[in-house]
C-alpha cells in the first residue's frame, strides 16, 4: 500500500506535474530569506536552474560567472570557507562533470560549505540528447570523501532538500531532473537527510495474500514512480513488496536498507543513472557485507542515451514499469 | 604590520629570506622529494609578506581580520612552510616532517592539516578562483582584510586561470591582489616554448586589471608594489614579479631541471654554504 503521506493519485497517473528544479529554486529562495549568508553563483543558466527569482530578490548575493563551471566551483570554495553558504548550479554534465577536479580539491578536500546542484541529470533530459544527459554524476560525487549526495524524487522533496542542505555544514551534491514529473510527496512527507523513507509497504495491503513483502525496491529521483507502479502491479498478482525512497545516497541509511533486505529477501534498485556506480552499487556494496540477498539493477546499462521523448527513452533503455516487474520476479525467483 | 620600510628593516627581511632559503634546502634534502627552484625563487617575496606586509597573527592563525594569502601553485609550499615556521606559526623543527607520514606539512598544502594554510592547492589554476571567493566575501561583509593570491606563470596555461582573471576584472575586486612568480620556467622547459604567455601584462590590462612589474628579489619594490595595489580603488591589481628560479644557489638558478627535484646531501651542503656566504658579504 502506498503511504498516506504521499499523493495517492500518482498511481492513476493523474497527479500534478512540476519540475524538480522548480522546487529547488523555491527551496534556495526560502533558505536565503532565513540566512543572509546564502549566495548563488550561476554559469549562464540562471533561468534554467531556477535561480532567477533569487537573483532579483538578492542581487548583491548573486554572482554571474558566465559559461565557466570550473571558476564557479573555485569561487564557491573560497566563499564557502569565508563564512558564506554558496549554491552553485549548472547542468550535471558540466557541474559536477566538467569541474570534477575543482570540486574534489577546492570544495571536497577543503571541506568548503558549498552546495552543488546538478540539473538536467538523467536520461529524462530527453530531446537534448546524450551530451546533456548525466548518467555518471551519482558515481563521481559519491566516491569523493566529505561529499554528501541527495537525489530528490519531486519538486516538493527538492525544496526540502535545498533547505536542509543549507543547514548541513560541508559539501552537498543535489541531483535534479529537468522535466516536469509527478509530484509524489506532500508537505507532510518526512524528509530527513540520511534517512530513507518507505513509500510503499505491502504489509498494509488489503489483500491478505499480498501482505508478505518478497522484494524491496530501492530507488531515488523521479523514476521512483515507476517502482511504485511496479509495486502496484505486483500487488495485483499477490506479490508483496516495499518501495524505499533512498533520497540520500551518501551517507546511506544502512540500518533501514539492511532491515528491509532481511525482511524482503531480495532487492531491485531503480535509478536513472548508469547501473555502474549509482544507488544500486551503493546498496550492493552494503549488502554484500551485511546481508547478501539476490539483487537486480534497473538503470542505464553502461551506455549513453539519445534524443527523444523522456517516456519513450525510459522504455527503450529498460526502466519501464514492465521491466521493473520482470526484474522483481527474477530477484524473487533467485531466492530459492 | 604598518612599519616604515627603513634600511634596517630591509636588511632584516633579507636576512629572513636567507633563513627561509636555508630551511627550504634542509627540508627538501630531508624529504628526498619536492620542488627546489620555485620555492627558492619566491623566498624574498615570502619574507616580505610574512615579516612585513601581511596583517596576521601567527599565534592565532584563524583570526577573523587577518589578510588571506592564497598559494595557488601549491608545489612551492616549502617556502610557505619555512616562512610560517620562522614567523612563529609552528616550531621550526616541524619542517623536518615535510612529505612524511602523519605530518601536517603535506607535499601539497592542505587547509585542514595546518592552521594558517588558507586553501588546499596543488592542482594548478584554481587558486585565483578561491581568492576571488574570499575577496567577494570580504566585500559583502565590508571587511578590511585583503586577499593576496600567489600564482605561477606556468599555471596561466590553465583555462580556469583566465576564467578567474575575467571575473575579477568584471567585479572590480579592489581588495584582491594577485602576484605572479614570473620565473619563465615550467616542468617541460621555458614558458615561452611550452606555451607562450607574452604579452602577459597587456593581457591583464585587457581583462581590467591594474598591472605592476617588479624585480621579485628587491624587497623595496615588493613592498612598494603592494602599497600601490592597496591604493588602486577601482580595479584588482596584479604584480608580475620577475624572479630567478633557484635564486641564491648558483647551480640551481635558471635551470628548469631543478623545477621538480630536491638536492641530495652533498648538493644541500653546497647550497647552504653558498647562501651563508652571501650573508657575510653583505655584512
pLDDT at B4 over 90: no
Tell me the three cell numbers of residue A193: 537527510
* CA distance, residue A160 to nearest chain B CA (Å): 26
Domains A8-14+188-333 and A17-182 share a fold: yes
B2 falls within a domain:
no
Output the nine-digit C-alpha cell for B115. Answer: 592552521
The DSSP bridge pattern shows strands B189-190 and B185-186 to be: antiparallel
Mean pLDDT, chain B, as a whole number? 95
Strand segments (E) across chain A: 17-19, 38-42, 62-64, 85-91, 115-119, 148-150, 172-175, 180-182, 197-201, 213-219, 240-245, 248-250, 267-274, 295-300
- Pick the closest to residue A115 from A222, A56, A220, A27 (CA basis): A27
With an 8 Å Cβ cutoff, is A32 touching chain B?
A: no
Give the A:B interface size as CB pairs under 8 Å: 106
CATH hierarchy code of domain A17-182: 3.40.50.970
Q: List the domain range (segments joined by +) for residue B23.
A: 7-282
Tens-digit pLDDT profile for residues B218-274: 999 999 999 999 999 999 999 999 999 999 999 999 888 888 899 999 999 999 999
In this prediction, residue B281 carries a pLDDT of 57
Handedness of CA B259, B260, B262, B267 (dihedral sign): negative
pLDDT in tens, chain A (336 residues): 999 999 999 999 888 999 999 999 999 999 999 999 999 999 999 998 999 999 999 999 999 999 999 999 999 999 999 999 999 999 999 999 999 999 999 999 999 999 999 999 999 999 999 999 999 999 999 999 999 999 999 999 999 999 999 999 999 999 999 889 999 999 999 999 999 999 999 998 888 888 999 999 999 999 999 999 999 999 999 999 999 999 999 999 999 999 999 999 999 999 999 999 999 999 999 999 999 999 999 999 999 999 999 999 999 999 999 999 999 999 999 998
pLDDT of residue B282: 52
Q: What is the mean pLDDT of residues B163-182?
A: 98
Buried/exposed B234-254: b ≥16 CB within 10 Å, e otherwise: ebbbbbbbbbbbbbbbeebeb
pLDDT tens digit sequence for B88-140: 999 999 999 999 999 999 999 999 999 999 999 999 999 999 999 999 999 99
- CB half-sphere exposure, A217, CA atoms < 13 A: 38
* Nearest partner of A23 among A50, A42, A58, judged by Cα: A50
Q: Would you say residue B2 has pLDDT above 70? A: no
Residue B272 is given by DSSP the state: H
Say what the pLDDT of residue A205 is: 86
**Which of B120, B131, B164 comes nearest A105 by C-beta?**
B120
Q: How large is the average pLDDT for residues B57-73?
A: 97
pLDDT at A219: 98
| Beta-carbon separation of A71 and B167 below 8 A | yes
Domain assignment present for residue B1? The answer is: no
Contact assessment for residue A299 and residue A269, using Cβ atoms and an 8 Å cutoff = yes
What pLDDT was estimated at residue B88?
Answer: 98
Number of domains in chain B: 1
Q: How many CB atoms lie within 10 A of CB A232?
A: 18
Kindly identify which residue of chain B lies nearest to residue A80, measuring between CA atoms. B133
Q: Does domain A8-14+188-333 have CATH number 3.40.50.300?
A: no
Asked whether the beta carbons of residue A106 and residue B129 sit closer than 8 angstroms, the reply is: yes
Q: What CATH number is given to the structural domain containing B68?
A: 3.40.50.970
User: CB contact, 8 Å: B61 with chain A?
Assistant: no
What percentage of chain B exceeds 70 in pLDDT?
A: 98
Which residue from A263, A257, A315 is spatially nearest to A289, judged by alpha carbons? A257
The pLDDT of residue B255 is: 85
**B113 at A interface, C-beta within 8 A:** no
Considering only the beta carbons, identify the residue of A61, A84, A109 that sits closest to B110.
A109
ipTM given for this complex: 0.94
Position B283 scores a pLDDT of: 47
Amino acid at each position: 500500500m502506498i503511504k498516506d503521506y504521499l499523493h495517492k493519485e500518482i498511481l492513476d497517473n493523474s497527479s500534478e506535474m512540476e519540475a524538480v528544479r522548480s522546487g529547488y529554486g523555491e527551496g534556495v529562495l526560502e533558505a536565503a530569506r532565513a540566512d543572509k549568508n546564502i549566495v548563488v553563483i550561476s554559469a549562464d543558466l540562471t533561468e534554467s536552474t531556477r535561480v532567477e527569482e533569487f537573483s532579483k530578490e538578492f542581487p548583491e548575493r548573486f554572482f554571474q560567472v558566465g559559461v565557466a563551471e570550473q571558476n564557479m566551483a573555485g569561487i564557491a570554495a573560497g566563499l564557502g570557507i569565508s563564512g558564506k553558504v554558496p549554491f552553485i548550479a549548472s547542468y550535471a554534465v558540466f557541474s559536477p562533470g566538467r569541474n570534477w577536479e575543482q570540486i574534489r580539491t577546492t570544495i571536497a578536500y577543503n571541506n568548503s560549505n558549498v552546495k552543488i546542484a546538478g540539473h538536467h541529470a538523467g536520461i529524462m533530459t530527453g530531446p537534448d540528447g546524450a551530451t546533456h544527459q548525466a548518467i555518471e554524476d551519482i558515481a563521481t560525487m559519491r566516491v569523493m570523501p566529505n561529499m554528501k549526495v541527495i537525489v530528490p524524487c519531486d519538486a516538493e522533496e527538492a525544496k526540502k532538500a535545498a533547505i536542509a542542505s543549507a543547514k548541513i555544514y560541508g559539501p552537498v551534491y543535489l541531483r535534479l531532473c529537468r522535466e516536469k514529473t509527478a509530484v509524489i510527496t506532500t508537505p507532510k512527507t518526512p524528509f530527513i537527510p540520511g534517512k530513507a523513507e518507505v513509500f510503499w509497504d505491502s504489509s498494509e495491503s488489503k489483500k491478505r495474500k499480498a501482505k508478505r513483502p518478497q522484494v524491496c525496491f530501492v530507488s531515488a529521483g523521479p523514476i521512483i514512480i515507476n517502482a511504485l507502479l511496479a509495486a502496484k502491479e505486483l500487488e495485483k498478482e499477490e506479490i508483496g513488496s516495499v518501495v524505499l525512497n533512498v533520497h540520500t545516497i551518501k551517507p546511506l541509511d544502512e540500518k533501514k536498507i539492511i532491515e528491509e533486505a532481511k525482511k524482503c529477501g531480495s532487492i531491485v534498485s531503480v535509478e536513472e543513472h548508469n547501473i555502474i556506480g549509482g544507488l544500486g552499487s551503493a546498496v550492493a556494496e552494503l549488502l554484500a557485507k551485511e546481508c547478501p540477498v539476490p539483487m537486480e539493477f534497473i538503470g542505464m546499462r553502461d551506455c549513453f542515451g539519445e534524443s527523444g521523448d523522456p517516456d519513450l527513452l525510459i522504455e527503450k533503455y529498460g526502466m519501464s514499469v514492465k521491466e521493473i516487474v520482470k526484474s522483481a520476479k527474477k530477484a524473487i525467483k533467485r531466492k530459492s | 604590520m604598518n612599519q616604515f620600510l627603513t634600511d634596517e628593516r630591509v636588511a632584516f627581511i633579507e636576512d629572513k629570506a636567507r633563513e627561509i632559503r636555508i630551511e627550504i634546502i634542509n627540508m627538501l634534502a630531508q624529504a628526498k622529494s619536492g620542488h627546489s627552484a620555485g620555492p627558492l625563487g619566491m623566498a624574498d617575496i615570502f619574507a616580505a609578506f610574512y615579516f612585513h606586509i601581511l596583517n596576521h597573527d601567527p599565534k592565532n592563525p584563524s583570526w577573523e581580520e587577518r589578510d588571506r594569502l592564497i598559494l595557488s601553485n601549491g608545489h612551492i609550499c616549502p617556502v610557505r612552510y619555512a616562512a610560517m615556521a620562522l614567523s612563529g606559526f609552528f616550531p621550526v623543527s616541524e619542517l623536518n616532517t615535510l612529505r612524511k607520514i602523519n605530518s601536517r606539512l603535506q607535499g601539497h598544502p592542505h587547509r585542514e592539516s595546518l592552521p594558517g594554510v588558507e586553501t588546499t592547492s596543488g592542482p594548478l589554476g584554481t587558486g585565483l578562483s578561491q581568492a576571488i571567493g574570499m575577496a567577494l566575501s570580504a566585500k559583502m561583509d565590508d571587511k578590511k582584510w585583503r586577499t593576496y593570491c600567489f600564482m605561477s606563470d606556468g599555471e596561466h596555461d590553465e583555462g580556469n586561470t583566465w576564467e578567474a582573471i575575467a571575473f575579477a576584472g568584471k567585479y572590480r575586486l579592489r581588495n584582491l591582489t594577485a602576484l605572479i612568480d614570473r620565473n619563465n620556467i615550467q616542468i617541460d622547459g621555458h614558458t615561452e616554448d611550452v606555451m607562450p604567455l607574452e604579452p602577459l601584462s597587456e593581457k591583464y590590462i585587457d581583462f581590467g586589471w591594474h598591472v605592476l612589474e617588479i624585480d621579485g628579489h628587491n624587497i623595496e619594490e615588493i613592498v612598494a608594489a603592494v602599497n600601490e595595489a592597496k591604493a588602486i580603488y577601482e580595479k584588482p591589481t596584479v604584480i608580475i614579479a620577475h624572479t630567478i628560479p633557484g635564486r641564491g644557489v648558483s647551480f640551481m638558478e635558471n635551470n628548469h631541471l631543478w623545477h621538480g627535484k630536491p638536492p641530495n646531501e652533498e648538493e644541500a651542503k653546497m647550497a647552504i654554504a653558498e647562501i651563508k656566504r652571501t650573508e657575510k658579504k653583505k655584512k
